[in-house]
Structure 1
Amino acid sequence: MIGERVVQKVSSTKGFAKVAPHVIPALDRAVHRLTRGRVLLSAQMLPGLILTATGARSGLPRRTPLACMPEEHGRTWILVGSNFGRPGHPAWTANLLAHADASVSWKGEDIPVTARLLTGEERAAVWKTALAFWPPYATYQARVEREIRLFRIVRRS
């Protein structure tokens, strides 16, 4: 699809990495609130959810709109801490490392979840899937020295 390739190319640029982290989440939060959790603008291109995690330092709830890779028909999700290819890990990843229990808003449903950082062979396999899912992740990884964090988010019973 031409539109998707254009979006992938644009999202791989350094200019996008400077602007997008300030604009996209703000728009997503506003639209999500206005539609009572049914719509995320960024999810028109990639599946998305709103992660609510406890702040690693503040202890306060932090809501972050994120692209995700749904697994098992929306029972688990992969979250990629790419930070648009910027140097530091995104804050939400530190929050999940400090407090694995969180919640996600997925298609209008609030779901309690537990997060697990992927490592080793499991991370390598999921990373390959992530690159097939959204090729710009390769550009983001090449731009930074840190290893991009991957999390599997699983519904709690």
Structure 2
Amino acid sequence: MRTGIRMVRKISSTRAFARLAPHVIPAMDRAVHRITRGRVLPSARMLPGLVLTAHGARTGLPRRTPLACLPEEATGTWILVGSNFGRPGHPAWTGNLLAHPEAEISWRGGDVPVRAELLTGEERAAAWGAALVFWPPYATYQARTDREIRLFRLTRRNTAAD
């Protein structure tokens, strides 16, 4: 494994990172993504990433959130992990998807309409195992909190049928 990735994994597992990253990384990602018209997402240089546009659970207003994702190439789907860096509460975007599962993602410069499904049971267990292989710090995040980290699968939706 490359030394850079090993170092980032170690740093991203720290409590200091969990306090700072949620304020810095998404703001930087949003700004660069907007300036480059969806072509560049800085955090995606380390992990695959997308920008999720979901409607707010209470307001119904569109909310854009840059997120790491686990692409499932074989099925053309994506797994999102609501780790919130191991902080106590679920990230807001997960509540938004529970309330309004139809969303849109910006993926590799294109906009894709999707439907989100909260994973449970065996599906969740399989996705969690894949997520831990993909990004081992997720185990640290889960150990840091009493809540079960939410996992979602995003599936392309056919907008003509919607």
TM-score, structure 1 as length reference? 0.98
Aligned to 2:63: 62
Q: CA RMSD in A?
A: 0.9
What is the deviation of 1:52? 0.1
Aligned to 2:155: 154
Residues in 2 aligned to 1:58 and 1:73: alpha-carbon distance in whole angstroms: 35
Deviation by residue 1:112-154 (Cα, 9 ceiling, x = unmatched): 0000000001100110000000000000000000000000000
> Unaligned stretches of 5+ in structure 1?
none
> Unaligned stretches of 5+ in structure 2?
none
Aligned to 2:32: 31
Displacement over 2 Å in runs of 4+: 72-75
Aligned residue type for 1:122: E
Residues in 2 aligned to 1:5 and 1:33: alpha-carbon distance in whole angstroms: 29
Residues in 1 aligned to 2:124 and 2:144: alpha-carbon distance in whole angstroms: 19
Count of aligned pairs between the two proteins: 157
Counting only pairs closer than 5 Å after superposition, residues 91-110 of structure 1 correspond to structure 2 as 91-110=92-111
What is the deviation of 1:34? 0.9
Aligned residue type for 1:16: F
Aligned to 1:126: 127
Aligned to 2:51: 50
What is the deviation of 1:74? 7.9
Residues in 1 aligned to 2:60 and 2:98: alpha-carbon distance in whole angstroms: 13
Aligned residue type for 1:102: A
Residues in 2 aligned to 1:74 and 1:43: alpha-carbon distance in whole angstroms: 21
Residues in 2 aligned to 1:63 and 1:29: alpha-carbon distance in whole angstroms: 8
TM-score, structure 2 as length reference? 0.95
